[in-house]
Amino acid sequence: MTYPKIAFIGAGSVVFTQGLLADIFAFPELGPAHIALHDIDAERLATAEAAATYIAGHLGARPLITAHADRREALSGADFVINIVQIGMGEATRTDFEVPARHGVRQTIGDTLGIGGIFRALRTFPFLRQLGADIAALCPGAWLLNYTNPMAMNVQYLRQATGLTRVVGLCHSVHWTMHDLSRLVKVPFEEITFRAAGVNHQAWVLRFEHQGEDLYPRLDALIAEDPGLRRRVRVDMYRRLGYYPTETSEHSSEYVPWYLGHPSEVERLRLPIGAYLGIIDGNVAAYRQTRDALAAGAEMEVAGTMEYAPQIIHSIVTHTPRTVYGNVANHDLIDNLPSTGTVEVPCLVDGSGIQPTHVGALPPQLAALNRTYLSTNDLVVRAALEDEPRHIRHAAMTDAATAAALRVDQIWELCNDMVQAHSGLLQPGLRAALKV
């Protein structure tokens, strides 16, 4: 058996790297893999290397672990590339919240759509172009497993800007939604049958069954009995649209025009404005705790995360069939969504790779929301591909939550301020402030 080389790009995201490595090393067939870690932050890279060594020892794995300040060294000859980079780190994310807040735009997570998602994409695209070129030159047969948000925009950009075809975006939202729903209706997760599809963070549970029984009526009864459940965005959307969304209420509120622009809805649905800023602080604290524990030789908890990337790697290497949910180009997968978009669908994985499955047409109300989402994505990608700064403003104008909060002139003013704030991270052609 040939053991794979797995490159972690952005390995300094130590907490996430730890979970993925725990999953990888839990598979005996992957224990001797070559783990190539890359990060531009020397301290974080050293911490990631120490964590990888600790986790391997704890789980009895014997991988080859290498650490690289040079991205190309990490990528050379890789079979799998896991991208977990966050361009600009916490400082840029704070800008994504603070500048829009001054203009009157509320956000909760800000990493997928909205002003936060748009500018997170625009500062990530230049890096993705470089990463794609390096993969094409150094490991053209590798599978790129992307975790970096905004997922759908990044996967579309990678496909169109770099020409890479072995690209899949991975997110745990479908898995954990179904895990939580099964617990809610008191059916073991292993016994439910489900099917979901749509776009990342706005996919839909199309089928939810136990031994042939539709579990949606059971969910309806629970919602009717529990006023607390009715004070959640995703439950409110489910009651009106007929299908449960596969992302948290905090995320889901940002992709539609109905909630964040109305203080009464923010209160009714208990929406935590700026929640992601607290998550950033928690991630930094967790990193420092890990760094200090490793330096002191203290014991650390080693826990798997049930993420898809390790399962995909194991299936391809061992020819073990699995079904995962992936974000891929909409090539004859969802009939009533644009073919240029990135969709989230069930994917079969085995020794031949990742094979997305055809879903057909979504219910029209669901497709309508997904098309709005994909239209914004497309304009952001076009802004970068065509070096057209007006498309940044066009994307913000079509974004549902932004358009619900601001007049069109205010949207342009906000975009000008965001461009200025992020100027050093954007490609040069997109840095201009624009007037009508």
Q: Which residues are catalytic?
A: 172
Q: Which two tokens stand for residue 116?
A: 């936060």
Beta strands (DSSP E) in 274-385 are 322-329, 342-350, 353-356
- What distance in Å separates the CA atoms of residue 315 and residue 301, rounded to the nearest whole number? 26
**Cα atoms in the Cβ-side hemisphere of radius 13 Å centred on 386:** 11
Task: Give the CA-trace dihedral at 224, 230, 233, 234, to 10 degrees.
Answer: -30
**DSSP letters spanning 77-126:** T-SEEEE---TTHHHHHHHHHHHHHHTT---SS-SSSHHHHHHHHHHHHH
Distances (CA, A) of 167 to 135, 163, 282, 288: 11, 10, 30, 32
Neighbouring residues of 19: CB distance < 8 A, sequence distance ≥ 6: 303, 304, 305, 307
In the chain, the amino acid numbered 201 is: H
- What distance in Å separates the CA atoms of residue 204 and residue 381, rounded to the nearest whole number? 24
Residues composing the chain = 436
Residue with tokens 């001797």: 32
Question: 253 φ, ψ to 5°?
Answer: -65, -25
- What distance in Å separates the CA atoms of residue 275 and residue 291, rounded to the nearest whole number? 25
